[in-house]
Amino acid sequence: MVTYHIIYEDDRILAVNKPPHLSHHDDQSEHGIISLLRQQRPDGRLYGVHRLDRVTSGVLLLAKDSSTASALMRKFSKREVVKYYVAISHKKAKKKQGWVRGEMAKSRRGSYKLIPEKQSSSDCKEYAVSRYFTAGLGNLDLSSSL
């Protein structure tokens, strides 16, 4: 049984904490989080406005009607939504910060990849900007929690 928690809900949107190793959409072996959530709704309607990869956990925002979905998808595509990604490691790390910036090119199965600056061309329409910070948690023994 898949466990997820509703973080926020109102008349127009639903925010859930998607667990790792759960697909966004159905695949051959199991239902995705969208189908699981739709099964619990009286009208069965929910619209995905962005995705999280199968292995990624985090907050997934869904719309309850098509007009809200369109408005939110427009905001995501115009990069008016600020997203934060957090990765936790048990290894000690030096504190660093910086930026990853670059053009994106289409990759396999509709995804995008960051391309090296020397390979960029004028036909690239997507651009990625990510800021990162690192801070070590120390050498934690996580074996008992796995």
Residue pLDDT, tens place only, 17-61: 998 888 888 888 888 888 888 888 888 889 999 888 888 888 999
pLDDT tens-digit series, residues 63-109: 999 999 999 999 988 889 888 877 776 666 677 888 888 888 777 77
Per-residue pLDDT, 143: 61
pLDDT tens-digit series, residues 102-114: 888 777 776 777 7
Supply the residues annotated as catalytic: 53
CATH 3.40.50.720 fits 5-78, yes or no: no
User: At residue 32, what are phi and psi to the nearest 5 degrees?
Assistant: -85, 175
Per-residue pLDDT, 1: 62
Residues 6+ apart with CB under 8 A from 42: none
- Please, which pLDDT band fits residue 146 given cuts at 50, 70 and 90? very low
Q: 44 vs 25, 38, 39, 40, 118, CA distance in Å?
A: 15, 5, 6, 7, 48
Per-residue pLDDT, 142: 57
pTM of the full predicted structure?
0.66
Share of the chain above pLDDT 70, in %: 79
Q: Write b or e for each residue in 102-120: b if 16 or more Cβ atoms lie within 10 A of its Cβ, otherwise e.
A: bbbbeeeeeeeebbeeeee
Q: Where along the chain do its domains lie?
A: 5-78, 97-133
Classify strands 96-106 and 47-48 as parallel, antiparallel or unpaired: unpaired
Q: CA angle, 17 as apex, 15 and 19 as ends, to 5°?
A: 145
Count the Cβ atoms, other than its own, within 10 Å of residue 38: 15
The owner of tokens 């199991």 is 30
